[in-house]
Amino acid sequence: MISPLSHIHPGAKIGENCTIEPFVYIEDNVIIGDNCHIMAHSSILSGTRMGNGNRVFHGAVIGGIPQDLKFVGEDTTLEIGDNNTIRENVTLNRGTASKGKTVIGSNNLLMENCHIGHDSVLGNNCIIGNSSKIAGEVVIDDFAILSACTLVHQFSHLGCHIMVQGGSKATMDIPPYIIAGREPLHYCGENIVGLRRRGFSNEAIKNIHQAYRLLYEGTVTAGLAKIKETMEMTPEVQEIVDFVEKKSERGIIKK
């Protein structure tokens, strides 16, 4: 299952039932879990910690050093969960002294030629479209979908269950459950199709819609006050409030 034409450092730890195709390059200080498939001409570099059932396609570079001039060789990691599909020419950088690690969750699809920068955190069940570029120290929550060629500014936070239009430039935070589009990037309504596919009830979707109606009615501060005064704090409404109040540091996109 491991091609003799690959280079695997003796210090690398490879799990059971892994397939490693010809011309794969694996450095020291790498851990790869069980049932992974590493395809030809991909590189798994020092500091990578990969879980089980991952597929890494041709030409991907996993665990490269950060593209950050402040990086001076500190011991950092890239931590990848289980059952991810990492397509051709994807680049994933490890962390810096800022956070020490870059984190990729489980069950994500990272499409061809996308990049995730140092110290970023990607949740679970996300899709990052072809040629999308995620800068350093970005947080993307679960079930987010970024269409092709999306650019995300450093330190941004993207909420759960969002859909971002292809070719977008995200320079502010994107709150959960919505569709973001146009240029510059704006709130374009709730991600109703995605929410229904994931089992959200009509009542939950109605509450999300009402919360955003109030949030964008005037100032964000006034909108938050109205949500708290008039709405039941269901899990979805609470997530919106918490995102705006506690998680967003760059401010949310406008309507």
Q: What is the pLDDT of residues 59-113, one digit of tens each?
A: 999 999 999 999 999 999 999 999 999 999 999 999 999 999 999 999 999 999 9
Q: What is the pLDDT of residue 72?
A: 95
- Summarize the confidence of residues 196-215 as an average pLDDT: 97
Catalytic position from the list 51, 95, 129, 136: 136
- Nearest 5°: the CA angle 146, 151, 154 is 110
- Cα separation of 83 and 52, whole Å? 6
Q: What is the pLDDT of residue 237?
A: 98
φ/ψ (deg, to 5) at 5: -85, 0
For residue 44, the 8-state DSSP code is E
pLDDT band at 200 (very low <50, low <70, confident <90, very high): very high
Q: Judge whether 119 counts as a catalytic residue.
A: yes
Catalytic position from the list 68, 119, 142, 173: 119
Where do the CATH 2.160.10.10 domains begin and end in the chain? 7-137
Tokens 């979805």 sit at which residue?
Answer: 236
pLDDT band at 195 (very low <50, low <70, confident <90, very high): very high
Q: What is the pLDDT of residue 126?
A: 98
Residue-wise pLDDT for 36-64, tens only, equals 999 999 999 999 999 999 999 999 999 99
116 sits in which H/E element: strand 115-116
Q: What is the pLDDT of residue 156?
A: 98
Q: How many CB atoms lie within 10 A of CB 146?
A: 28
Residue-wise pLDDT for 115-167, tens only, equals 999 999 999 999 999 999 999 999 999 999 999 999 999 999 999 999 999 99
CB 150 within 8 A of CB 167: yes
- Cα separation of 209 and 230, whole Å? 14
Where do the CATH 1.20.1180.10 domains begin and end in the chain? 195-247
Q: What is the pLDDT of residue 115?
A: 98
Q: Judge whether 58 counts as a catalytic residue.
A: no
Q: In sequence order, what are the beta bridge partners of 93?
A: 64
Q: In sequence order, what are the beta bridge partners of 31?
A: 13, 49
Catalytic position from the list 47, 51, 63, 118: 118
CATH, range 7-137: 2.160.10.10
Pick the CATH number of 195-247 from 1.20.1440.20, 1.10.150.120, 3.20.20.70, 1.20.1180.10: 1.20.1180.10
Q: Judge whether 161 counts as a catalytic residue.
A: no
- 251 contacts: CB under 8 Å, gap ≥ 6: 172, 173, 220
| Alpha-carbon Rg for the chain in angstroms | 20
**3-state percent helix, strand, coil for the chain, nearest multiple of 5:** 15, 30, 55
- Summarize the confidence of residues 208-215 as an average pLDDT: 98
